[in-house]
Structure 1
């Protein structure tokens, strides 16, 4: 998880106030989108942690001390802007300890690769990027964090491990994370098929039960985080520090979610949350979600369909017998038709007309054609459709999402590859953890 955040400079001061209305039972409150902007002012008083300086845990004989945990707690508080209270300090401590355990495992694994060395210059560049996100210089950035009790050497050690782990995971799994053309095309088809369904632009925080001490601990921790965000802690900063979902590195940005593609408990929350609202904790198998509804839409901006047709001309005044005869003829022909042969077959038969309707926005089609365009699968032939001009067999030869929101092939390929890489990285650290000797003191 990258340590950068656009609000880091304001980390030790209280965030801006947020409205606390809860219009429905699933919403905890309404967040202020501007709350992620950097605030100004002096650092808040340094929290007092009642934690001994001795050894807290060992990871393959490498120690984690109380001092290490306190330093990481300060970092978690700084980067998430969660204000420490008696109620949430245990969750912050647990998060800090778990991140230190994983960091020790990562550092030990990196040490097995002699060629994998992270230079001081790489760490400096990471700090410079963090400072740029916060709108200040690296010197001012580090000085500000130091005022809050975060020691520069502890921060640099953490960044060195994070950079090395990214390089290790990328180098080791890059080839395995690649996706095939078939996978990308399948994902594009799914996006196209979902174009007409309601969609939700979602921020997510997922607390994994196994990582935080069980399902009840995850639920309690989620309750505390919700309270902190309603009171001012920025959602993106909290997600970066606490979420176990792959979207944590993007500040919890889960992108556009299509109706019916998530677990029922999450779908129920998506149905009732209004734009700007934060959900209450949502228990699922294995953990707890918090959902932030960033935006909603009824469907993609544009849904495009490619159609061809074979038709029999029939005026509006045609009798029922004529319509029935024409329909029977088209139904008999339909099983033999495909997108490839429909025009040839239509033009070769007496009394039939064929035409390529090209690609059209579904919304611009005749009402009788719209239902077929939305519901039929690609490479299928419709039943006869009656219009004032006659009876039509429609061949649905392609569908895609159009407009500014339509993802490109490369964008979908990159998203799938990043998802695969994140999954492989999580599996890697879980394997290291399973093989390690970890003792809590």
Structure 2
């Protein structure tokens, strides 16, 4: 078993596990008094949740809630217990199917390590948990699933999660003395067989515009970007959020100047510089950007945009796309984390305007026939340059493993039959 693959989801919520020998039975019991409603002895072992063909009993809920309360997990212990036990059933099913269920000896070793992180011996740990009414079997079940899931995630994703030397160098980075922010307006015009003959003339007309208002009026009329509603005007943004390939182009623009046409995949972009400023502090650099791309037939037609809006209304995060894409072709949904330099320019440009959880409908594929709904999942900041390379490599690996783990778990949950 790969015991070194420890990421936060499997370490008792990190600092959440802080037990003291001085806590008595009464104090611990009072912490979890509202962890579960009063039920009869017969009903205690009745199923209250079904996950596919597996049952979760009221007793298991009560036990996990007590355990979470004692270990200091934030939030409602009973609510969190429900979520954790549902996920445990999904994990257990998968690790059982692939033959990675830990042995009793491995579980024992895991429990000893768990006790050590509370500064208690295993006997003292059992005793402290027992005073709060937590059964040893609850601890064994928790540990068994955690170890097995870590082993599975490591076996499946570790090779993909390990950073290259170049990625470590990029993560170390070099912090600048100050950050640069730019104020831009944009026009994004779809490029396909129908629009290609007119593009050259259109670009010449736009580059001949003299004022901010003229450029804004043109953006309102023809731009395919979401910013058209604001006349193509973008808010101040850090230069480092732009795709690396566009930064030099933008920096060479004078205030009021309009860029040459920049060819993207399926579109042409023009930018007008409205302002540039330097701000105090180090500029933020990103080692990786995670984003989702969901393909919708119809391109930017009214039907395609309406379908995209229906999806936008149904999702709050990237993980929600797994439920939307269920039973569809695997090619429909892509969620990936890439260095900024490896992200296609058109997608990278849209991501630069987004905060996590926000979407864009400006990108198309298949010669404009397919709309690519893009959502920003999150950005991974580069790590300070004085950090140890091994520490940086480990941190990047664990971040990626946790991303893979969470994504897989969301997919399993979306595909499961859960009855509460």
Taking structure 1 as the reference length, the TM-score comes to 0.43
Largest Rg, 1 or 2:
1
Taking structure 2 as the reference length, what is the TM-score of the superposition?
A: 0.45
